């Protein structure tokens, strides 16, 4: 019996499966995931899962009973091995086949590997899955030494969590500053100072010459001759889209599975969504982007489900990213790269927002940082202004006397 098949049991795949039922689809829905768990959220892996007094269960997307009641068949612990587009079937790793009317690829992304580190023995780790997080917990004991390669969101969130557990942390970044991808320098500087205040040895513009495994850890050899010893090294240098199935099936791939504005691939019966796909973003002139974002996985999973049923709704929301480190929350809406002007709005002595405008004065991004939820409301309003193509004046954006909600109403 054919129906809807979803490959990928993460945030995107789980949301898509549930959305099919919420939209009234009554045919068969099968969700295939390589991990042994039902779909769960990944953001807590670098935070709550590491710092909670006892290891918490994953934060589930739905429950086993919920999928069962919805009539969704969940195949866990078994990867998809091949797609036959002519026969419209998926072959699983155990040789079983699934027929589909429409297929969704929600295969996500995998950590970018560092070959030189991988050769240094078992004390090299990556963080992507719940199992990875549990393994890291076992090493995060007070007084131990942790080295993190890469100062992106994952690396810095892990550093903050490790410091909360009393671990000595060194972060090594090859770029001249932390958070080079998508975070403006003034906000990155606040985050960097907060880590240093917490005792993190934060090294930027730092090049690694090699790694040497030891029975109790790893020695990192830096260019210039310095050596850093750590009981564990975690590599966090970005992620690559998981596109092997798509490539083998002859689908177009370019920094992810290529999809159109409806999330359809080069085969009209196959869709892709979430971290694994690249799509044209209308808010930024049709520029093709790939987003590694919790909210994007949520939204695209539901959107793909509706479009698999023929709704034909395009991707329209602005990109949104967030990170919590210590008491600070960092949020970014839109894409700031390529903007021409930046306007700062100070909310108080600890929180501020940067508004990014293009050459024509259109608001294209907003970046904010502050304790707790200090910037959340204004970033949400800025996100709505971005979606509407608003062109507020620099004076209006800078002044606390002008409410963003009033700009939205105007």
Predicted confidence pLDDT, tens digits, the chain (410 residues): 689 999 999 999 999 999 999 999 999 999 999 999 999 999 999 999 999 999 899 999 987 778 999 999 999 999 999 999 999 999 999 999 999 999 999 999 999 999 999 999 999 999 999 999 999 999 999 999 999 999 999 999 999 999 999 999 999 999 999 999 889 999 999 999 999 999 999 999 999 999 999 999 999 999 999 999 999 999 999 999 999 999 999 999 999 999 999 999 999 999 999 999 999 998 888 999 999 999 999 999 999 999 999 999 999 989 999 999 999 999 999 999 889 999 999 998 899 999 999 999 999 999 999 999 999 999 999 999 999 999 999 999 999 999 999 999 88
SS3 371: strand
The rounded distance, in Å, linking the Cα atoms of 299 and 274 is: 8
CA 162, 164, 168, 173 torsion: positive or negative? Answer: positive
* Tokens 């290529």, residue located: 258
Using only C-alpha atoms, the chain has a radius of gyration, in whole angstroms, of: 22
Reference 382, options 396, 394, 369, 365; nearest CA is 365
* Tokens 């942390």, residue located: 169
CB 103 within 8 A of CB 272: no
Stretch (H or E) spanning 278: strand 277-281
| Half-sphere exposure of residue 123: CA atoms within 13 angstroms, side-chain side | 23
Cβ contacts of residue 225 below 8 Å, gap of 6+? none
Instruction: For the beta carbon of residue 91, count every other beta carbon within 10 angstroms.
Output: 15
SS3 60: strand
Stretch (H or E) spanning 218: strand 217-222
SS3 145: strand
Cβ contacts of residue 18 below 8 Å, gap of 6+? 61, 62, 66, 67, 70, 72
Question: What phi-psi label fits residue 84: left (phi over 0), alpha (psi between -120 and 50 degrees) or beta?
Answer: beta
The rounded distance, in Å, linking the Cα atoms of 271 and 291 is: 16
What structural domains does the chain harbor? 3-110+239-308 (3.50.50.60), 113-235 (3.50.50.60), 327-409 (3.30.390.30)
Q: According to the model, what pLDDT value does residue 126 have?
A: 98
CB 61 within 8 A of CB 13: no
Q: According to the model, what pLDDT value does residue 349 have?
A: 80
Q: According to the model, what pLDDT value does residue 177 have?
A: 98
The rounded distance, in Å, linking the Cα atoms of 359 and 121 is: 50
CA distances from 23 to 63, 74, 304 (A): 19, 19, 12
Question: What DSSP letter does each residue of 178-216 carry, written as one string?
Answer: S-TTTS-HHHHHHHHHHHHHTT-EEE-S--EEEEEEETT
Q: According to the model, what pLDDT value does residue 1 have?
A: 63
Reference 71, options 127, 3, 130, 122; nearest CA is 3
Reference 14, options 101, 35, 95, 163; nearest CA is 35
The rounded distance, in Å, linking the Cα atoms of 15 and 319 is: 18
CA angle in degrees (0–180, nearest 5) for 275-278-280: 130
Stretch (H or E) spanning 341: strand 341-346
221, two tokens:
């050899």
CB 231 within 8 A of CB 144: yes
Cβ contacts of residue 182 below 8 Å, gap of 6+? 321, 332, 335, 336, 337
């Amino acid at each position: 019996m054919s129906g809807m098949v979803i490959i990928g049991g993460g945030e995107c795949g789980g949301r898509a499966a549930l959305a099919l039922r919420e939209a009234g689809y009554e045919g068969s829905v099968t969700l295939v995931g390589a991990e042994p768990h039902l779909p769960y959220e990944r953001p807590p892996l670098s935070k709550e899962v590491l710092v909670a007094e006892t290891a918490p269960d994953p934060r589930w997307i739905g429950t086993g009973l919920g999928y069962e009641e919805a009539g969704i068949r969940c195949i866990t612990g078994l990867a998809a091995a091949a797609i036959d587009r002519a026969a419209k079937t998926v072959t699983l790793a155990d040789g079983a086949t699934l027929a589909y009317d429409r297929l969704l690829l929600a295969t996500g992304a995998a950590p970018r590997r560092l070959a030189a580190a991988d050769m240094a023995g078992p004390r090299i780790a990556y963080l992507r899955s719940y199992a990875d997080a549990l393994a890291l917990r076992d090493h995060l004991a007070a007084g131990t030494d942790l080295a993190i390669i890469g100062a992106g969101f994952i690396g810095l969130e892990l550093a903050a969590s490790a410091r909360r557990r009393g671990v000595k942390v060194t972060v090594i970044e090859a770029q001249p500053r932390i958070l080079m991808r998508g975070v403006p320098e003034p906000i990155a500087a606040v985050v960097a100072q907060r880590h240093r205040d917490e005792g993190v040895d934060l090294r930027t513009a730092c090049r690694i010459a090699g790694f040497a495994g030891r029975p109790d850890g790893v020695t990192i050899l830096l260019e210039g001759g310095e050596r850093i010893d750590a009981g564990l090294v975690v590599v966090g240098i970005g992620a690559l889209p998981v596109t092997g199935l798509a490539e083998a099936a002859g689908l177009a791939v370019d920094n992810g599975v290529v999809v159109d504005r409806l999330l359809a691939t080069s085969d009209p019966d196959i869709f892709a969504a979430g971290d694994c796909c690249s799509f044209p973003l209308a808010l930024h002139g049709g520029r093709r982007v790939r987003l590694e974002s919790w909210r994007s996985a949520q939204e695209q999973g539901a959107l793909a489900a509706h479009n698999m049923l023929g709704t034909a709704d395009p991707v329209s929301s602005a990109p949104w990213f967030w990170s919590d480190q210590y008491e600070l929350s960092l949020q970014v809406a839109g894409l700031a790269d390529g903007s021409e002007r930046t306007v700062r709005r100070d909310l108080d002595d600890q929180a501020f927002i940067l508004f990014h405008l293009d050459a024509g004065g259109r608001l294209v991004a907003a970046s904010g940082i502050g304790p707790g939820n200090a910037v959340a409301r204004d970033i949400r309003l800025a996100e709505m202004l971005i979606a509407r193509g608003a062109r507020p004046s620099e004076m209006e954006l800078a002044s606390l006397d002008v409410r963003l909600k009033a700009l939205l109403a105007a």
